[in-house]
Amino acid sequence: MIEANLPNIVLLGSDLGTHSGLELGGRIARYYPNTKVIMLSPNPNDEELFEVIKTAAVACLSKNVNTPELVNTIKRACGGEYPINETVMNRPRIAGRVLEQFQNISTIGKPMETVITPLTNRETQIMRYIADGNTNKEIGRVLGISEQTIKSHVSAILRKLNANDRAHAVALAIRSSWITPEGTTQEICQ
């Protein structure tokens, strides 16, 4: 059905016990990158959220989510946002596990220098804001440029780093020492 209809969004139930929804979500994200996956769970705990993140889903919501929140999440995902980032930022243990996971991934046996194209100064600046959990809209407001320009920079960053998503890009940028975990921008945004 995905291949025949190429939807913008797919809502999938996740079942940590069988992993069937998680596996399907991962396959959709891998083979149909323009189709955004939103996982629905009875009550997503830290372990399930971590598994959902590994599928590259853009959001993880409770199956009991109210209609306005579901509609808002779908609209944000269609607009290129990753609402799952907010969930991760509110759960420091998960954020730590995600960063640790990405730091341990080897890139097809090649040294990072041969795989990754260096970021421009502006892209590095935007990566710092992304690492602090800022949305494209927030970054654009702080830097005085349009949200669309930020989206273009983020797309270039993901392409240059060969990253699956924003969290993966942050981990790769930290690993390559282009940004540091201590080099936050929170004082600028507040």
Q: What are the pLDDT digits (tens) for 63-117?
A: 889 999 999 999 988 888 888 877 766 777 776 766 666 655 544 444 444 445 6
User: What's the rounded mean pLDDT across residues 115-128?
Assistant: 78
* Sequence ranges of the domains in the chain: 2-84, 105-189
> Could you give the strand order of the β-sheet that contains 59-62, starting from the edge strand earlier in sequence?
9-13, 36-41, 59-62
Task: Give domain 2-84's CATH superfamily.
Answer: Response regulator (3.40.50.2300)
In percent, the amount of the chain with pLDDT more than 90 equals 17
> CB–CB of 91/46 below 8 Å?
yes
How do residues 129-162 score in pLDDT, each as one tens digit? 998 889 999 999 999 999 988 988 898 888 878 8
Angstrom distance (rounded) from CA 115 to CA 172: 11
> What DSSP letter does each residue of 37-62 carry, written as one string?
EEEEESS--HHHHHHHHHTT-SEEEE
Fold of 105-189: Arc Repressor Mutant, subunit A (1.10.10)
- Record the pTM: 0.51
What's the pLDDT at 187? 37
Cα of 150 vs its chain's centroid, Å: 15
What's the pLDDT at 137? 93
Residue type, position 163, single letter: A
According to DSSP, the residues that pair with 38 across neighbouring strands are 11, 59
Phi and psi angles of residue 98, each rounded to the nearest 5 degrees, phi first: -65, -50
